[in-house]
Amino acid sequence: MTTARTKPLSSAEPGQLAQGSSWLGALRNRRLWLGVLGWTVACLIFFPIFWMVLTGFKTEAAAVADPSLIFSPTLDSYAEVQNRANYLHFALNSVVVAFGSTLLALLIAIPSAYSMAFLPTKRTKGTLLWMLSTKMLPPVGVLVPIYLLFRDTGLLDTRTGLIIVYTLMNLPIVVWMLYTFFKDMPKDILEAGRMDGASTLQEVLYLLLPLTLPGIASTGLLAVILSWNEAFWSLNLTSSQAAPLTAYIASFSSPEGLFWAKLSAASTMAIAPILVFGWLTQKQMVRGLTFGAVK
Amino acid sequence: MKLSRALPLAGIAALGASAAQAETITVATVNNNDMVIMQSLTDVFEQAHPDIELDWVVLEENVLRQRLTTDIATGGGQFDVMTIGTYEVPIWAERDWLTPLDDLPEEYRVDDLLQSVRKGLSHDGTLHALPFYAESSMMYYRQDLFDAAGIEMPEQPTWQQVRDWAEQLHDPANQTYGICLRGKPGWGENMAFVSTLVNTFGGRWFDMDWQPQIDSPAWQEAIAFYVDLLGNYGPPGASSNGFNENQALFSRGNCAMWVDATSAAGRIYDASQSQVADKLGFAPAPIAETPKGSHWLWSWALAIPASSDAKEAAREFITWATSQEYVELVAEEKGWTSVPPGTRESTYENPSYQEAAPFADFVLNAIQDADPTDSTLEPNPYVGVQFVGIPEFQSIGTQVGQMVAAALSGQRSVEQALQAAQRATQRTMDRAGYLD
């Protein structure tokens, strides 16, 4: 591939033609290097995940021994992990909590982003920044108040409780993203709708949402992934009934005894659903994230 | 007509069902081998107690500690049984967070529990948690290497001897290191070991007025010795090795000596987990100036938080899991080397255990010998051998642990590290009001 591409450059005649083709060659070369760079970065990012999957198939002794790609794979760790904790129970909690909180966040964020994008006041910018600033507070700072509130309202170890916390946690990001997507939409379209007698609700449902769907989808996906991976609140606010996959992974780590293979097996199982989900929705994601970027 | 007759019936059926429904207790525990075995025996307990169901929350030690502390301090009531250590029990009992366990049934044989362990889990003379397993520290060494070098292990080795042997046996070219010791910072990691070393060198954490003693000559001497020993004759990158890493190193045959928890004995003596199972020697933890506090005492225990709403069922469970009957059950199911060690005299009197575990006597002696109320040469105001039984110790221990690790890795001199540690501890104690 490389030689085929560079060939015209090396066999080019001097003169005008050569200048043109060397320019072309340089461009091709640049694309090639960008490709190489892209792959290198992708491999670097993917390597820990690859290593984790690999470790899950090793024995505990092989997992701590010198790193090696050659070993006889075993399913022991998976069997042991399944034996000790019911994966489906945790996975179901993760699905319910991640999707539930995302839906709730979107329901709240769409109207608020709509009002901020299309009916801004002089405080809109400030409100947006203030919302984002709540993300800068380390969560452990509010652990005890939230724990007490949850205790008194009976929300400890319930999925409802986790959904509420995750919704609050993701809301600033969701509102911000939706706000930027909505802002990019030409106001004229909404105005045209209003001329034709559409109510605000109809305007949002039939014009705004269909036109910004890629943006909403990628916002939703991001919220799902963030909720799926969240470990602080899920570990602290649940015990057995509502514990999601992050608590499942945490139960296989230990300062005493060997655990790397089991931990890797559990982690692989925990990320598998979201990995498949992300893979299936990749197109939406990329479309959403680059939405409006090429206007 | 039919419906009106069926409704009360359904009501009665529902009542009956709820009466027969078992009470569920939530057990929070750490992900250590012995607890994993306990979890795997859930069915046996539930069959014997059909009215109780067990729900498990298994977490890594540090995560669990934080999780339980949040729950118990706020009275969250999420757990009916908590797995906590000798560090927490007296502190929590003092705040009335734990249910006192004074009227234990006779068949539980509370006198069979080892005295020192019982003492560590009591507050004002009353047990507040039942010991699940207990450990001390001791020395493991490679009999084959010692034989080849013509070294004979005395009954009680000293640290000076250990240094000489480490120098003699250190062979980095063949990946055999003189000694493996904990280096990873943390109050329960390097400081557990370092505290025992300081104790035996004649040092202490605080004097009787709670004045930190970290810049004292005994600390200087102990830490300088530790840095020299582990830095020169230890494995590379020793400052990131904790219990797990050292266990892996030792069982792969990379260490000539290792001083660490007695609870590792079962695993490194198990040929399926260790390549040195047949070349293993055991000795008491080495001493220097004084034998006092030269080995630690730790026990993982099961306690019932005061906020539990199923105290009776929880008591039923913890008396089962810490009973002699349970020890025998584990022996039957998993073999004698897997039984939870260090809690009951009857375990050590059992001929089958003595035969299966040649290290049993060392463990028993080390545990019986450790006295958390008298662990240093000069008097101190605290309870604990490798820790200080005050709530502030977690942060103090970890901070000092980081300084010691910095000295080990050569980022600071021993003197600088200890001065910084002294200042930090002084500040913490000042703020906490001990030095008023």
DSSP letters along B405-431, please?
A: HHHHTTSS-HHHHHHHHHHHHHHHHHH
Residue B70 counted as domain residue: yes
Under 8 Å CB pairs connecting chains A and B tally to: 90
For B127-145, the pLDDT digits (tens) are 999 999 999 999 999 999 9
Q: Do B161 and B279 share a domain, yes or no?
A: yes
Q: Are residues B169 and B288 in the same domain?
A: yes
Sign of CA dihedral A203, A206, A212, A215: positive
Q: What is the ipTM of this complex?
A: 0.77
Q: Please give the tally of structural domains in chain B.
A: 2
CA dihedral B262, B91, B372, B179 (to 10 degrees): 40
Q: Which of B308, B325, B356 is the last residue of a domain?
A: B356
Per-residue pLDDT of chain A (295 residues), as tens digits, is: 344 444 444 444 444 555 556 777 777 888 899 999 999 999 999 999 999 999 999 888 788 776 778 888 889 889 988 888 889 999 999 999 999 999 999 999 999 999 999 999 999 999 999 999 988 889 999 999 999 999 999 999 999 999 999 999 999 999 999 999 999 888 888 889 889 998 988 988 888 888 888 889 889 999 999 999 999 999 999 998 999 999 999 888 876 667 888 999 999 999 999 989 888 888 777 777 666 544 4
Domain identity same for B65 and B147: no
Question: Where are the alpha helices (H) located in B121-216, listed in sequence order?
Answer: 143-148, 159-169, 190-200
CA distance B204 to chain A (A): 26
The pLDDT value recorded for residue A167 is: 96
C-alpha separations of B44 from A124, B48, B79, B114, B326 in Å: 62, 6, 21, 26, 10
Q: In chain B, which residues have pLDDT < 70?
A: 1-20
Residues B65 and B79: their CA atoms lie apart, in Å, by: 13
What pLDDT is attached to residue A214? 85
Q: Would you call A102 exposed, middle or buried from its count of C-beta atoms within 10 A (0-12, 13-18, 19+)?
A: buried
Dist CA A118 CA A207 (whole Å): 13
What's the rounded Cα separation, in Å, for the pair B39 and B31?
Answer: 10
Do residues B426 and B291 both lie within one domain?
A: yes
The 10s digit of each residue's pLDDT in B172-189 is 999 999 999 999 998 988
The confidence score (pLDDT) of residue A30 equals 86
For residue B312, the model assigns a pLDDT of 94
Q: Where are the domains of chain A?
A: 2-56, 76-289
Q: Which residues of A touch B247 (CB under 8 A)?
A: 257-258
Dihedral sign for Cα atoms in the order A14, A17, A20, A26: negative
Residue B170 belongs to a domain: yes
* Chain A residues close to B263, C-beta within 8 Å: 256
Q: Could you name the CATH architecture of A76-289?
A: Orthogonal Bundle (1.10)
Q: What is the pLDDT of residue A19?
A: 58
* E runs forming strands in B228-313: 255-261, 280-284, 297-303
Backbone angles phi, psi at B133, to 5 degrees: -150, 160
B319 within a domain of the structure (yes/no) = yes
A256 vs B contacts (CB less than 8 Å): 30, 32-33, 61, 243-244, 261, 263
Interface residue of A156, A251, A253 to substitute, partner B, most B CBs within 10 Å:
A251
The model carries a pTM of 0.83
Contact assessment for residue B223 and residue B418, using Cβ atoms and an 8 Å cutoff: yes
Q: Is residue B252 part of a domain?
A: yes
Is B76 an interface residue toward A (CB < 8 Å)? yes
B194 and B341, same domain (yes or no): no
- Residue B233's domain comprises 136-296+373-431
* B12 domain residue, yes or no: no
Alpha helices in B234-381 (DSSP H): 243-251, 265-268, 311-321, 324-334, 345-349, 351-356, 360-369
The pLDDT assigned to B232 comes to 96
Q: How many C-beta neighbours within 10 Å does residue B349 have?
A: 12
- The answer on B282 and B203 residing in a single domain is yes
Whether B368 is covered by a domain: the verdict is no
Site of tokens 């993300």: A135
- Statement to judge: residues B166 and B60 lie in one domain: no
pLDDT of residue A257: 66
Q: What is the DSSP letter of B98?
A: B
Is B1 a member of any domain?
A: no
> Cβ contact (<8 Å) for B32 and A247?
no
Distance CA B98, CA A290 (A): 56
Mutate to test the interface with B, among A142, A233, A238, A240 (most CBs of B within 10 A): A240
- Asked if the structure places residue B226 within a domain, the reply is yes
